[in-house]
Amino acid sequence: MISNLAFVHPEAKIGKDVEIGPFVFIDKNVEIGDGTRIDANATICEFTKMGRDCHVFPSAVIGAVPQDLKFRGEESWVIIGDRNVMRECCTIHRGTASKEKTVVGNDNLIMAYCHIAHDCILHDHIIMSNAVQLAGEVEVDDFAIIGGGSLIHQFSHIGGHVMIQGGTKVNKDVPPYVIAAHDPIAFCGINSVGLNRRGFSLERIHIIQDVYRQLYNGGLNVTQAVAQIEATMEQTPDRDMILGFIRNSPRGIIRG
């Protein structure tokens, strides 16, 4: 299952039923989980751990040192979970002393030419379309979809179940369940189609709509709107997730 034209460092830990194509380079201090496939010309650098049943397409580079001038060669990692797909020429860089690791969760699709910079944290079931560029220390929550060619500013936080239009420049935090687009980036409604596909009831969707209606259309600033939502709307997990995201957003959320 390992091409005789590949280089696999003798100290690398390779799981069962792993396929490694020609001209692949796998360095020391690398772990590859069972059932993973690594196609021709891919590079897996030192300090990378990859889970089960992943697929790395040709010319992807996983675990290269970060493009951060503060990096001094400290030990840091790329940690990748299970069932991730990393398409052609995507790049995922190691962490720095800030977090010491870049993390990609489970069941994510990272399309061709995407970049995930140092210390990013990606959760589960995320789709990054072609050529999305994540700067350092970005966090992306579950089920987010980021349209092709989008540019994500460092330290930004993208909430769960978000849909970001292709080509968008993200320089503020994007709260959960919304569609974001335009230049400058703005709230464009909730991602009702995505929520419906993921089994959200109409009642849950209407609650989410009510939260954002008060937040963006109530004529109040964000702080006032959050206080009003908390005082007037029944407590639900979705309401609390949105309010918690906003309160924990040092960059501030996108405009309405």
DSSP H helices, the chain, are: 192-197, 202-217, 222-232, 237-247
CB 113 within 8 A of CB 95: no
What pLDDT, on a 0 to 100 scale, did the predictor assign at position 81? 98
Work out the pLDDT band at 58, boundaries 50, 70, 90.
Answer: very high
* Residues 231 and 132 grouped into a single domain: no
* Residues 58 and 125 grouped into a single domain: yes
Percent of the chain with pLDDT over 90: 99
* Residues 64 and 129 grouped into a single domain: yes
* Residues 30 and 119 grouped into a single domain: yes
Task: Count CB neighbours of 171 within 10 A.
Answer: 16
Question: Residue written as tokens 């720095």?
Answer: 96
Distance between CA atoms of 135 and 216, rounded to whole angstroms?
28
Q: Which residue, among 220, 240, 222, has the nearest Cα to 230 in the 3D structure?
A: 240
Q: Which residue, among 235, 162, 234, 237, has the nearest Cα to 201 in the 3D structure?
A: 237
Distance between CA atoms of 146 and 135, rounded to whole angstroms?
14
What pLDDT, on a 0 to 100 scale, did the predictor assign at position 17? 98
CATH number at residue 48: 2.160.10.10
Work out the average pLDDT over 49-68: 98
Q: Which residue, among 157, 186, 155, 181, has the nearest Cα to 244 in the 3D structure?
A: 157
* Residues 114 and 213 grouped into a single domain: no
Residue 189 lies in a domain: no
Question: Residue written as tokens 């006032």?
Answer: 224
Work out the pLDDT band at 20, boundaries 50, 70, 90.
Answer: very high
Work out the average pLDDT over 52-70: 97
pLDDT digits (tens, 9 = 90+) for 151-208: 999 999 999 999 999 999 999 999 999 999 999 999 999 999 999 999 999 999 999 9
Work out the average pLDDT over 23-29: 98
* Residues 200 and 127 grouped into a single domain: no
Q: Which amino acid is at 209?
A: Q
Overall domain count for the chain: 2
Structural domain of 105: 7-140
CATH number at residue 206: 1.20.1180.10
The structure tokens listed for 59 are 């010319």
What pLDDT, on a 0 to 100 scale, did the predictor assign at position 163? 98
What pLDDT, on a 0 to 100 scale, did the predictor assign at position 33? 98
Residue 202 lies in a domain: yes
Q: Which residue, among 156, 152, 177, has the nearest Cα to 241 in the 3D structure?
A: 177
CB 188 within 8 A of CB 182: yes
What pLDDT, on a 0 to 100 scale, did the predictor assign at position 165? 98
Catalytic residues: 118-119, 136
Q: Which amino acid is at 125?
A: H
What pLDDT, on a 0 to 100 scale, did the predictor assign at position 4? 97
pTM of the predicted model as reported, rounded to 2 decimal places: 0.97
- The residue with greater pLDDT, 1 or 135, is 135
* Residues 23 and 133 grouped into a single domain: yes
CB 242 within 8 A of CB 176: yes
Work out the average pLDDT over 227-253: 97
Distance between CA atoms of 172 and 47, rounded to whole angstroms?
31
